[in-house]
Each structure stands twice: as structure tokens, then as C-alpha cells.
Amino acid sequence: MQPANTISGMTLDALKPTAGRAPEALRTSAAAVVEPLLRELFGDGLPIRFEFWDDSGIGPADGPGTIQVRSPNAIRRMLWAPGELGMARAYVTGELQTDGDMISVLRALADASPPDVKAGARLSVRALRAATQLGVLGMPPPRPAEEAAPRGRLHSKNRDAQVISHHYDISNEFYRLMLGPSMTYSCARFTEASTGLEAAQQAKHDLVCRKLGLPERNGLRLLDVGCGWGSLALHAATNYGATVVGVTLSSAQADLARLRVKEAGLDNEIEIRVQDYRDLEGEQFDVISSVGMFEHVGMNKTAEYFATLYSLLRDTGRLLNHAISSVGGSRMGRNSFIGRYVFPDGELIDVSEVAGAMERAGFEVRDVESLREHYTKTLQAWLRNLEENWDAAVNEVGVQRARVWRLYMAASANGFDDGGISIHQVLAVKPDPKGHSGMPPTRSGWH
């Protein structure tokens, strides 16, 4: 561990200006000092304009937007947390802002950045000496209050509950402003008949129900793991006569989901619980959906997760697992923006590992479908909703938390667009002891 007064292994004292000389920051502009570093990073063609707190600037005026470094604290944050975490902290606090379309700005920076500019990057001596010239060296500024710090054993029930509360128990109204009337926080499915967000979310709900076989038999008992605000449960009960148990670890989600169920007159058909999936032992269901929840499970708990769901299903019961994936897997570490602010402890599992884990639990995998491009469009729609309702969103959760969601959705939209991350629905069945699956002979029932 480095001493408290060091950055990238160098002492602060070693970087102080020579005694008797005025700091370089008093004799030159911030842009002039930072320019060699930006040229070193991006080459001669800067992808975007950078403007600084002293009204100096560098870079093209006709790019997709502007990065505004509004305070020396922004650079100090990046010294203490090089890479995306320091930049994210500066953005969340407003010390660093963007002018222009957020998705385009982030895309331009990503396209022009070398591959080693990522979480955990180390600063060069040249960067540290530039910071000395600017007079921005010092102890790290306080971390934004929106940064998560879950305690306890990774993926224990208690810690998972903390993580879910951090993400979801902030304001149901904030989520309504961002997600729209469907209150569905997962990838929509855009078709020729469902070009708008609300119709696309209904199309996704219907796809899940049809893959699970709900139209084939009325009154099936559905377990919705990670039920959110109850949107899929309402769709399944209303359109296919399913009886639904929805479980979530978010008390705020459960409160609103129960209200929506009551208003729909479906109290006898839908039960919403605040419950961990690991506490469902002994119950039996005909079908199970898990939509946008698996990212919270973690690689080390994947076998337990699928074994638990297998034990809850009756023979010939189906499981639909809808989750973001990453080739080779990806843990949202403590040095990443998403790991600190959005999905603490989250992990994206390679879809091949998901399928293998299902099979090892006893399932037979029957269908895999990618919805990657659909998630890009979903995130773009959510971001538009947030921008259009910005003042109301800030009133609900504060400007710093609203900035977290703006940055998260814009970065994620680019991630799905360039294929860095994907999303898959994996449909599996629990065959009976004689191998009967009860599955239809073709996919025509859901396509």
C-alpha cells in the first residue's frame, strides 16, 4: 500500500516547485500546461474541445461537444484515482461537465483513447509534473456521497440487500421519469409494430411469456425473480391468466408493485414479496423468469443460483434467464465507475458460461437469443426521458445522483452499440425423468 502522501509512487514533496520560484500555474494557462498531455494521449488530432476553469481551452470547436474542466479539483481527483473512476467522480460532482450529446462525446473519447486508459490506469511522471505546474497537488477531495460502500461477505444475503437498496431504493418517481409508464428496467424489444419505448417493453414482456409457454396453458404458476415494479407479473396475469409470485430485495419496488397490482384488481393473482431467491426453498412453480436480475448474482454464486431455480421447478417447467453478458466475463470492480456508483458487486457472465451452468444444474438449454441492438435503443430512450425531465429528476434524487444515471446510460448505450457488452435471453427446460421436455417442435410459438 502506498503512503498517504504519495501518488503513483512519488511523494508530493518531490513534486513541489523549487523554493523561491513562482508556481508555473501563475505564469501560464491551464490549457497550455495540459496540452502536451492531451497530445500524448490523443495524438495531434484531439477528438473534442477541452475548456478549463481559467477560460483557456484547446481542441476543435466543431467536434461533438466540449469537456469543461471547471475546477482544479477535477484534476486532483484524477491524480488520486487515475482512469475512469477519477473522471467519474469529477463528473458526478460537477467539477467536470460536458456540453453536447453525452453519447457522442463519450464515443469520441473512447474511439480516440488508447486501450490502456481504463479503470486502474497509472499516471506518468509527465502528468504529475503538469499537475505541479497547475498547483493542483494536494490531498484527495472527499468522495461523492452517492458512492456505494457495501459491507460484509461478497454476495451474502445481507450484502446483496445493501447493494440492491443502493441502486433501487432511491425514488420510484425518479425511475418513472426515466423509464416511462411501463416502469420496466430491462432491455425492450423493438419491432416494426413496437417502435416506441412503451410498445417495445410490452413486446419484450410478451416474448418472455411466450417463450415460457404461458399461452399454451392457462393458470400456470410463474416465479418472477427480481420482479422490479411488477410490470412482467402484471402482463403475465392480465394476458395469460398466470398466477405470479414476484420477489425483489427492494422495498421501494415492492411497495409500488403491490400498489399497481391492487389498482389492477389482481391481488388474488399476483403476490409481491421482499425476499431473496435463496429463501424460496420448498415451493414449486410451473415456470420461472429472471429478467435483469442475474447481473447481481456473481460468478461464484451461479451454480447455487441455477441449482435453486431447478429445485423450484416442476418437471417440464421452463426457465428464461435474461441478462447482460460479456465475452470472458467482467466483474464491475471497485476501481470502475459502475462498480462504485451503479451496480456494486455486479458481474457480467459470458453467455457460454451461463448455458454451461444451466446444464450442470440439470437444465436442458433450448434457445439463446441476443437483444444487443435493442438495448442500445432502450438506453437511448431512457436517456432522452431523463434529459427531458431533468429538473424533476434532480428534485427527486439530487443533481449528483442524476448525473450518475446520465453517465451510466450514455456509456452503456455505447457499450452495447460497439459490442463490448451484450444481452442474451437463454431459455431452458427441466425435463422429466424420462427426458420429456414438453417443448414445442419449433420456435414458431414465440417468433
| Confidence (pLDDT) at 279 | 95
In whole angstroms, give the CA distance from residue 66 to residue 99.
5
Are β-strands 270-274 and 285-291 bridged in parallel, bridged antiparallel, or unpaired?
Answer: unpaired
CA dist 127 and 365 (Å) reads: 51
Low-confidence ranges of the chain (pLDDT < 50): 1-27, 119-120
Q: What is the pLDDT of residue 23?
A: 44
Q: Give residue 17's pLDDT.
A: 38
C-alpha to C-alpha distance for 264 and 131, rounded to whole angstroms: 59
Looking at residue 347, what is its pLDDT? 93
Residue type, 35: E
Domain 6-134, CATH class in plain words: alpha beta
Phi first, then psi, for residue 45 (nearest 5°) are: -100, 95
The DSSP bridge partners found for residue 161 are none
Task: Assign residue 404 a region (left: φ > 0; alpha: ψ between -120 and 50; beta: otherwise).
Answer: alpha
The 10s digit of each residue's pLDDT in 359-416 is: 999 999 999 999 999 999 999 999 999 999 999 999 999 999 999 999 999 999 999 9
Return the pLDDT at 114. Answer: 66
d(CA 409, CA 442): 36
Residues 232 and 289: beta-carbon distance below 8 Å = yes
Question: How would you classify the pairing of strands 285-291 and 313-325?
Answer: parallel
Element (H, E) at 200: helix 197-211
Q: Are strands 57-58 and 243-248 parallel, antiparallel or unpaired?
A: unpaired
* CATH for the stretch 157-445: 3.40.50.150
* Residue of 446, 427, 371 lying closest to 214 (CA atoms): 446
pLDDT of residue 332: 75
C-alpha cell at 92: 458526478
* pLDDT at residue 116, as a whole number: 54
Q: For the chain, give every domain's residue range.
A: 6-134, 157-445
Between CA 351 and CA 345 the distance in angstroms is 19
- Record the cell numbers describing residue 231, joined without a space: 410490470
So what's the pLDDT on residue 80? 83
Element holding 391 (H helix, E strand): helix 390-397
Element at 320 (helix H, strand E): strand 313-325
